[in-house]
Amino acid sequence: MATTVNAGARLDRLPVSSFHYRIFWLVGAGMFFDGYDLYVAGSVLAATLSTKFSTVPQNLQFLSLTFVGMTIGALVTGFLGDRFGRRFTYQINLLIFGLASLAAAFAQDMNQLIICRFVQGLGLGAEIVVGYSTLTEFVPPKTRGRWLSFMAFLVVAGFPATALLGYLIIPTWGWRPMFIIAGVGSLVVWYLRKNLPESPRWLESKGRMAEAEALMTQIEKEVAQSGKLPPVVVPKPVPQVSASAMLRPPLLQRMLVGSWVLITINTLIFGFVIFLPQFFMRQGLTIANSLGYTLVLAIGSLVGCALGAYTSDAIGRRWSIIGASIVTIVTGYIYARFNAASDPTIVLSVGFVLIVAIYVQTAILFGVYTPELFPTEIRLRANGICNTLGRGATVVSPFIVGSLMASYQLPGVIWLMIGLVVVQIIAVYFWGVEPRNRGLEDVAVQKA
């Protein structure tokens, strides 16, 4: 039996083919419905509040327990994914999420809906960790940033999708159909994804050489149908690391960077973006107009992800993150300074640019940068821990945002976002590595 398969080098040299697109769409379809349900809270909670189905404290509890579920899901799936494989984890979490979404549609009171949402959160947190990490291990390094950013594009497409469907459905039929769409769609994808292959990199890292070799041979045979394959460039051996390496340099610095950037971007999304309908309603807009404003700004999320897909490979991950962070600070200051929500012109111009900047970071931090930071044998655990800390921060962020809104209105929320982003710039500049155009095995031993 071969002592090494060189799965990483063999995967990295493959030309893009129908195999890569199949992996992308099978993983991406589930990620889309996760993104859809991730953002559905903004429209649903505005509707439950306006119809007296919920109260403001219950809405905050709904959001907080969603994040508790996502925190637990992210942590558990990291350990399960490294122990039992990527294929096992992405099927289990999507099934949990789909069934819980259907149950949420039939909740009889807000307490039942909150319980269902907690279970949904378990699947949401797990899917985000395993989905990005799985695709990371299949796509070639020269275009890895683009592939993973467009995966984030699919997730973020859930934002305008929920905004559009909420605008069309909720005023007439209420909020329950929003959960039915998520549940049915997720279960359809769960069935289709049963044929998604395991990661050869993971199989090799677990010493399952025969399975890794058989799978690599199958993949190469499929890709070779489109043309002759380039030769394999065998890299220098990369020593395997244990989980304890996360507590020592250089991985410790990467853990700190990964954790802080996810704390920041989670708070930007769930402390600002997801509250947009409620921010607008506080300014006196109707539920329909609030959802309409949100839909317009939601288009900026797709523009941001597409821009992140370009810049992550063109100028690199670090400078893309830093540049988008600076734009966030500048536009956030303008948004807060001029009390943007009271002026439609500023809402739809400065607000659009702010959303674009936030989602450039979303695409790169969730989809590209954090999964690349860690070696294959601990990728899901390390990524899961970073996501756990990021999600854990958002358990309390709805309450912080609620308090800031009560005392300082929207400017108070914006200043919190700016403070987090400033620290993010410092962390990425001094401790961040640059994975652009590098194989994952090369990034694993790269110094900051």
The answer to whether position 69 is within a domain reads yes
pLDDT of the residue at 198: 95
For residue 430, with 0-12 CB atoms within 10 Å meaning exposed, 13-18 middle and 19 or more buried, which class applies?
exposed
The answer to whether position 10 is within a domain reads no
The residue segments making up the domain with residue 309 are 16-221+245-444
142/164 Cα distance (integer angstroms): 35
pLDDT 10s digits, 45-59: 989 998 999 998 999
The Cβ of residue 289 has, within 10 Å, a number of other Cβ atoms equal to 16
Residue 283 pLDDT grade (very low, low, confident, very high; cuts 50, 70, 90): low
| Contact predicate 346/49, CB 8 Å | no
225 SS3 class? coil
25/139 Cα distance (integer angstroms): 13
Q: Can you read off the two tokens belonging to residue 356?
A: 């674009």
The answer to whether position 239 is within a domain reads no
The answer to whether position 276 is within a domain reads yes
390/212 Cα distance (integer angstroms): 33
pLDDT 10s digits, 121-152: 999 888 889 999 999 999 999 999 999 999 99
436/320 Cα distance (integer angstroms): 11
Q: Can you read off the two tokens belonging to residue 82?
A: 């490294």
Residue 391 pLDDT grade (very low, low, confident, very high; cuts 50, 70, 90): confident
For residue 108, with 0-12 CB atoms within 10 Å meaning exposed, 13-18 middle and 19 or more buried, which class applies?
exposed
What is the tally of structural domains in the chain?
A: 1
The answer to whether position 90 is within a domain reads yes
357/364 Cα distance (integer angstroms): 11
The answer to whether position 108 is within a domain reads yes
pLDDT of the residue at 4: 83
Q: Can you read off the two tokens belonging to residue 237?
A: 């051996």
- Please state the φ and ψ torsions of residue 374, each to the nearest 5 degrees: -125, 150
Residue 444 pLDDT grade (very low, low, confident, very high; cuts 50, 70, 90): confident
The answer to whether position 3 is within a domain reads no
pLDDT 10s digits, 57-73: 999 889 888 888 988 99
Quick one: which of 367, 382, 373 has its CA closest to 428? 373
Mean pLDDT of the chain: 88
336 SS3 class? helix
The answer to whether position 240 is within a domain reads no
The Cβ of residue 66 has, within 10 Å, a number of other Cβ atoms equal to 27
Q: Report whether the peptide linkage leading into residue 57 is cis, meaning its omega lies within 30 degrees of zero.
A: no
Quick one: which of 275, 273, 270, 301 has its CA closest to 393? 270
CATH of the domain at 345: 1.20.1250.20
pTM: 0.86
83 Cβ contact list (under 8 Å, min separation 6): none
